[in-house]
Structure formats: structure tokens, C-alpha cells
A and B are shown apart, each in its own frame.
Chain A
Amino acid sequence: MICRETEKKIFIYPELSMPEKEEVDEHIRECKSCEAIARTLTGLRETLLKVGTFKGNEAYNSGLTNKIMNTISGGHVSNSFIFHLETILSWSLRYSLAAVSLGLMILLFTESMTTPERGAASRTEHIDIKAMPVMDSKEFTITFKTRKAVANLRTWVKSECERICYNGDNAVACHRCERIYKRTY
């Protein structure tokens, strides 16, 4: 066995199988440099075990135990099935659910922004405002104070004229008064 191979095995000597240990021992008996490495590492390992191995209840902290038990017994934490959902749901599933929820929210938000008066718009959207006979009539521009008020154009026109022939996003036409009410802000 060459020194480089042995050196690697010396570092993990306690974890080697018996035949592997015998092989290393045999090499060490004949190789001074490897023997020195082995001696240093044995010393280090013994020292680490001496200082590292846990000793009794030095680290016991009754305050921490009470804190843990208060959290558990205080009703904040339950070991019932519903509370296991956190561990049942894998992270990939959680991310997927979050992405789907976000997508739905964006979709709903976009829908509500583009069609504020969905019901009315769907009833009249097939009408082309330019093809209508009332198009040569006067235009009437209403200026609203807030964006929210702009969305109420249809309600306003309806309350004034009672008969709406077109309801678009930016304009509402009325047959009775032959006006096109445009939104501005």
C-alpha cells in the first residue's frame, strides 16, 4: 500500500473494517511518516472525545423546559391530525398551491379592473358605437373627481336618461338625449 492511500485511511481509521485496519497497521509499522500522522490523529481524536463527550446535566435548563411545555400545554400547539398538515405537505406542493392561488388572485383582479360593470357590458358589447344613428349627435364629456367615480358612469347616465343603447369601457351612448357620455378623469 502506498503512503497516499494509507494517509486517507488513517484519517478514518476508527471507521475502517478489521482487515482494512490490519492493512493500515502493517504499513504504519514500516513507514515513519505515516506513523507520525497516525500518532497525531490518534492524539487529536482522544483529546476531542475527552473534551467533547457530553457530561451529565451541565446543559440542563429548566427555564427552557418550562418554555417548551408552556408552548405545548398553552394550547398554541396541538398534536392532532390537522396540525400535521405542515409536515404532510411537502415544500414543492406548498409552492405549487401558493403559485395557483397567486395566479387566481391576479386573474380575478385583472377581470375586475377590465370589466367594472360586467353585467351591463356583456349585454351591449356587440353594438358598434360608430355604426349607431345617434353618433352624429352632440358629445358630452363628464369629468369625474376620482377613478372610482369613473366606474359609475353607467349608473349616472342611467339615472339621467333611463335608456342606454351602448355601454362601453370609455363611453355610454343614450338614445333619448342623443348624447355620448365619455369618461374623463
Chain B
Amino acid sequence: MNYHESKIIEDAKGGDTSAFRKLVEHYQPFAYTLAHRMTRSHDEAQDIVQDSFIRCWQAISRFDQRVKFSTWLYKIVMNRCLDLFKSARYRSRQYEIDLNVHDNVHDPKGSDAPLHRQEFLEIVLKMSEQLTPKQRAVFVLRDLEDIDVAEVGNILSMSQGNIKSNLYYARKKMSELLSKIYQNTSLHEL
């Protein structure tokens, strides 16, 4: 954390809303991307980001500046996402997705058009819905956001062993699912 950000956080802790706005402006895209990759829903991601920043504001006076602000924020966002996965509303939506998951996936074997990166990412995220919430959280943070293992551990309050175990199952499942779709396509071509 640099001096500038540290000063902004200090001001926000003192109740300065304009300082907090700077934090929101800086971190909102990261928080949104993370929430969207977890939920795959624009509306739910927006709700989670809004709620997470409000919780940040409510608790910022107790924020320990030895921890990175991004880690703290990601932790709040992730907890909100995991809460959402537990909700009955989300599970009923998930059931509908599970029924349609293979219908909507683009099949590259029948197409000459090169795969678009965004399209591939969409497919990966769709496939990741078949992972358990913890596996998905670890997979998104580590393999998509490229956050180091120690920080992932702090965000999810998990031991390194637990992270490795979840990563193993997540990657195994993802490689199985993706290899079914991209049998004849080299992933390096993307």
C-alpha cells in the first residue's frame, strides 16, 4: 500500500466520504469483475459490489491497515458471493442453468471462425458453475485473477493445503469439461 492510498484510507476512517469515493472509484472495477466472474450475472454482481462497499464504509474505522485494502474488499465480496450461492433463490436459478448448460455452449468444432477470448472466458465461467462454491472461488481468484496463494488464503480464510486441494479438484474438473468441448482446438490458439 503506498503512502497516497494509506492517506485516503485514513481520511475515510475519519468519515470523509470524498476520500471513500476515491477508493470506490479505484476498486469498483476489480470488485465488479470478481463478483461477475463468480455469479455470471450483471445485476447480482452490481448488488454485491454495492453491498460490499457499504459494508466497507460501515466497518472502515476498524480496518487494519497492515492488511491490503484490496484483500479486505475481496474478502467481503467473496463472502457475499458465497452467501448468495447458499440462498434458495440462487440455487433455483442454478438448477435451470444446469439443465441448459450444454445447449448454449458454442461448439468450435463445427465453426471455422477463430475463438474469441471473451467467448472462451464466458464458456470457462459457465463451466465453473459446475464446481463447488469453494472450488469456484479458488479457481477464479487463482487462475483468472492470478492472485498469489497467500493472498487467496487471506481472502477465503483457508489454509494453503486447503487451497491446493480445492485447486486440484477445480482444475481437474475444468480440464475435463473443457477438453470435451475443445477436443480439436489447441488452447494456445486463443
- Tell me which residues across on chain B come within 8 A of A77, comparing CB atoms: 54, 57-58
Report A-chain residues with C-beta under 8 Å of the C-beta of B120.
Answer: 47, 51
Please tell me if the beta carbons of B17 and A58 are within 8 angstroms of each other in the complex.
no
Q: Does A92 sit within 8 A of B, measured CB to CB? A: no
A72 touches B187 (CB 8 A): no
**Distance in angstroms between the alpha carbons of A65 and B60 in the assembled complex:** 17
A112 to B16, CA, bound (A): 51
Which A residues are CB-close (under 8 A) to B49? Answer: 64, 68
Give the contact stretch, choosing among A81-89, A120-128, A146-154, A174-182: A81-89
In the complex the two chains form, is A50's CB within 8 Å of B117's CB?
yes
Q: Are the CB atoms of B149 and A15 closer together than 8 Å? A: yes
Q: How far is the CA of A48 from the CA of B55 in the complex (A)?
A: 31
A68, B37: Cα distance in complex, Å:
21
How far, in angstroms, from A118 to B121 measured CA to CA in the complex? 71
* A69 engages B24 (CB within 8 Å): yes
What range describes how many residues of A lie at the interface? Answer: 35 or more
- How long is the Cα–Cα vector from A83 to B54 in the complex, in angstroms? 11
Interface code A128-154, partner B: CB below 8 Å = 1, 0 otherwise?
A: 000000000000000000000000000
Overall SS of chain B's interface: helix
Is B57 a contact partner of A48 (Cβ separation < 8 A)? no
Known: A49-B143, A53-B144. A79 touches B58 (CB 8 A): yes
- A48 and B143 in contact, given A43-B186, A65-B21, A73-B17 (Cβ under 8 angstroms): yes
Chain A 48-77 near chain B by CB (<8 Å), digits 1 or 0: 111111101111110011011101110001
Instruction: Determine if A53 and B145 form an interchain contact, defined as CB atoms under 8 angstroms apart.
Output: yes
Q: B167 in the interface, Cβ–Cβ < 8 Å?
A: yes
Bound complex: CA of A56 vs CA of B32, how far in Å? 12
Give the residues from 50 to 80 in chain B that come closer than 8 angstroms, CB to CB, to chain A: 50, 53-55, 57-62
Distance, CA A176 to CA B179, complexed state (A): 98
The answer to whether A69 touches B54, judged by C-beta atoms less than 8 angstroms apart, is no
CB-based contact B60/A79 at 8 Å: yes
In chain B, positions 114-169 with a C-beta closer than 8 Å to chain A are 117-118, 120-121, 124, 143-146, 149, 160, 163-164, 167-168
**A65 vs B167: C-alpha distance when bound (angstroms):** 33
Q: Which residues of chain A from 74 to 106 have a CB within 8 Å of any chain B CB?
A: 77-79, 83-84, 86-87
Whole-angstrom distance between the alpha carbons of A51 and B116 in the complex? 10
Q: In this assembly, does B96 line the interface, its C-beta being within 8 Å of a C-beta of chain A? A: no
Cα separation A40 to B182 with both chains bound (whole Å):
12
Which of A11, A40, A45, A50 has the most C-beta atoms of chain B within 10 angstroms of its own C-beta?
Answer: A11
A-B contact sample (7 more), CB < 8 A, given A52-B143, A65-B24: A15-B164, A43-B188, A46-B187, A47-B190, A49-B143, A64-B50, A72-B20
Contacts from B to A (Cβ < 8 Å):
15, 17, 20-21, 24-25, 28-30, 32-33, 36-37, 46, 49-50, 53-55, 57-62, 117-118, 120-121, 124, 143-146, 149, 160, 163-164, 167-168, 171-172, 174-175, 178-179, 186-188, 190
21 residue pairs A–B, Cβ–Cβ below 8 Å: A11-B167, A12-B171, A43-B186, A43-B187, A46-B188, A48-B143, A51-B118, A51-B124, A52-B144, A53-B145, A64-B32, A64-B46, A64-B49, A67-B50, A68-B24, A68-B50, A71-B50, A72-B17, A72-B57, A77-B57, A79-B58
Which chain A residues have a beta carbon within 8 Å of chain B's beta carbons?
Answer: 8, 11-12, 15, 40-41, 43-54, 56-61, 64-65, 67-69, 71-73, 77-79, 83-84, 86-87
